[in-house]
Structure 1
Amino acid sequence: MRVLSKAKQGGSIGIVIAMKWYEPLTNTTEDILAARRAQSFELEWFLDPIFFGDYPSHMREILRSNLPTFTSEEKKLLQYKSDFIGLNLYTAIYAKDCIHSPCDLSTYEGNALVFATGERDGVMIGGDTALGGFYVVPQAVEPAIMYVNQRYKDTPVYVSENGYSQWSDVGREELINDVERLNYLQGYVTHLSRAIRNGADVRGYFVWTLMDNFEWTFGYTVRFGLYHVDFDTPERTRTPRMSARWYRSFLTGSSAGALTDEAQQGRRADS
């Protein structure tokens, strides 16, 4: 199917991975290696077999016989079978080594013998969002994108999801004048642009999402949309948020600064 798509239709087929960026909790060798292991168990677990024909070495060392093995022929069939990599990238978190202490084996991090936390010395890694563990860490985009680009060379990257969540039960005015989402998007786009200027091959960026929708187990209690949807009206009235107006201006290159000033005024009014 990939050959048909590429040769006859000019298309491309890739894979999308949900990932977060792991920062070492401390500058110790143990935590630096912990961050590396955590990334293997979340990102490379899926991508390494496709590009290199095998699971990452960190997984092999820890899981051993629990991981399947590939024959030489299977490895050849697996390698380089993706035209692009999509990343659902929202946040970052700290990684702490827990090789010699209890680990939560129900998580990717725990299986990597890593304890993940959003706090260091009483300070959170970033601002809160409606979803626990999804912190606002725009500066994490640069190392995450550069890491993926360098590990899987010559493979274009798309940021297939990135966005900010609000609880639905806040006031309508706050939902419409979504200063936090606007600042979130501006921060992430800024750092993504820096990665591109530093040589990252990024072909696209997609905001999650255009309109409020049904969010997995959270249903309608969490909102990600650039457009507010009034689910209590029969016609599901849709209203562009402040973030939608900023994003449109950003894409068209018109009056982006004015909306940024508006967001800053909103931030000052909230403080």
Structure 2
Amino acid sequence: WSRIFPDGLGKEINEQGVAFYNNLIDFMIEKGIQPYATLYHWDLPHNLQRTMGGWLSDKIVEYFALYAEACFANFGDRVKHWITINEPIQTCINAYGIGIFAPGLCKGVSAEPFLAGHHQILAHAAAVDVYRRKFKAKQGGQVGFVIDCEWAEPMSDKMEDQAAAARRIDFQLGWFLDPIYFGDYPESMRQRVGEHLPKFSEKDRELMRNKIDFIGLNHYTSRIIGHQPNSQPQEIHFYQVQQIDRTDKWSSGEAIGERAASEWLLIVPWGIRKTINYIVKKYENPIIYITENGMDDEDDPSAPVDQFLNDTKRVNFFKGYLGSVAQAIKDGADVRGYFAWSFLDNFEWAMGFTKRFGIVYVDYKNG
């Protein structure tokens, strides 16, 4: 976004930015690679944050639609698969709740993460609306929305634990998909978030209705979920209202899966099958792409390269997860594609170069 419209307002396009993406897209196609383009992967133009509070302002919906239209016009003759927004929950919670992602807001205002999410849903719908009205007939592409979700496995057969696990999924998938498919947020969110959860107008509902061609699922891990009536005071409001006990161990002490390098990433291949099948059942078997799935190694500058290249753990990870995706397809899921995260070791957001997700090792020192 900031490369196409540095000020975010859609008034003056950056031709150098357009040329950059044209060259990249043309090169990919020349090499036989079909481009899947994400419009927003957290690169908010600073001017929009500075002047109107970024995703906290309803004005951003219009500006995002202008940006999307410029991309469709310049690249849509070659790009046939568009993703509007990547992992909106991360922007909402980590950027406008906890404050560990840009713009780093942590004001303790319970409504702000939900307001940011509200505007991202409407921005997605506005972008799809522009595409269908102005470009789809000629370009024939599809526009989707990428949601990240860890599977929530109930801690026990107790009804309260089953309900807690379902609630956890509502606060991940349902938050962003239910408005598009059903016109409103999940009832579990309405009950627990209350007045902090914005309301959709009839105009909003009309804009959102069926504004999705595919669901992109980013999935890495799973957790065991039980009911926890007493919220922890150190948790932010988003987690407090869910009333869940989120753990990586069963009551026996056995871990749900082997840990990768990151503390949050437990290797649980069967979780992706359950997540896909949940989406199939609730959202009437939509087209699904697995848009991110992978695991990380700890970067150790002193370790010999051979240690990284003997990559048995990652090989087993992908065997397990791809096998579970294949099982979901046999179950009836319409999964059209799979993207590993990541092709190369990269600058992994707040973790920088300390974690290596690449299936290809990158020598940072010697290029």
| Cα shift at 1:108 | 4.7
> How does the TM-score come out when normalised to structure 1?
0.82
For residues 175 and 233 of structure 2, the distance between their equivalents in structure 1, rounded to whole angstroms, comes to 19
Tell me: higher relative CO, structure 1 or 2? Use CA pairs within 8 A at least 6 residues apart. Answer: 1
C-alpha contact 2:175 2:185 (8 A) present in aligned 1: yes
* Aligned AA (1:99): P
> Do residues 144 (structure 1) and 275 (structure 2) align?
yes
C-alpha contact 1:160 1:206 (8 A) present in aligned 2: yes
5+ residue gaps, structure 1: 237-271
For residues 77 and 97 of structure 1, the distance between their equivalents in structure 2, rounded to whole angstroms, comes to 36
Counterpart pick for 2:194 among 64, 70, 95: 64
C-alpha contact 1:142 1:192 (8 A) present in aligned 2: yes
Query: Which residue matches 2:142?
Result: 12
Label 1:193 to 1:187 Cα distance change in 2 as closer, same or farther (>3 A): same
> Do residues 129 (structure 1) and 257 (structure 2) align?
no
Counterpart pick for 1:24 among 151, 154, 159: 154
| Cα shift at 1:2 | 2.2
| Cα shift at 1:201 | 0.8
Aligned length: 234
Moved more, 72-81 or 125-134: 72-81
For residues 160 and 196 of structure 1, the distance between their equivalents in structure 2, rounded to whole angstroms, comes to 16
For residues 222 and 233 of structure 2, the distance between their equivalents in structure 1, rounded to whole angstroms, comes to 19
Query: Which residue matches 2:294?
Result: 163
Query: Which residue matches 1:222?
Result: 355
For residues 285 and 154 of structure 2, the distance between their equivalents in structure 1, rounded to whole angstroms, comes to 28
Counterpart pick for 2:326 among 184, 193, 203: 193
Q: Report SS of the residue matched to 2:207.
A: helix
For residues 232 and 289 of structure 2, the distance between their equivalents in structure 1, rounded to whole angstroms, comes to 36
Give the % identical residues: 38
> How does the TM-score come out when normalised to structure 2?
0.61
> Do residues 211 (structure 1) and 341 (structure 2) align?
no
| Cα shift at 1:68 | 1.1
Counterpart pick for 2:209 among 79, 82, 85: 79
| CA offsets 1:183-204 (integer angstroms, 9 cap, x no match) | 0000000010010011001111
| Cα shift at 1:154 | 4.5
Query: Which residue matches 1:41?
Result: 171
Counterpart pick for 1:178 among 308, 311, 324: 311
Counterpart pick for 2:183 among 40, 53, 69: 53
Label 1:20 to 1:190 Cα distance change in 2 as closer, same or farther (>3 A): same
- Structure 1 runs (4+) greater than 4 angstroms displaced: none
* Aligned AA (1:124): A
C-alpha contact 1:118 1:133 (8 A) present in aligned 2: no
5+ residue gaps, structure 2: 1-129
Counterpart pick for 1:90 among 216, 220, 223: 220
* Aligned AA (2:196): N
For residues 107 and 134 of structure 1, the distance between their equivalents in structure 2, rounded to whole angstroms, comes to 23
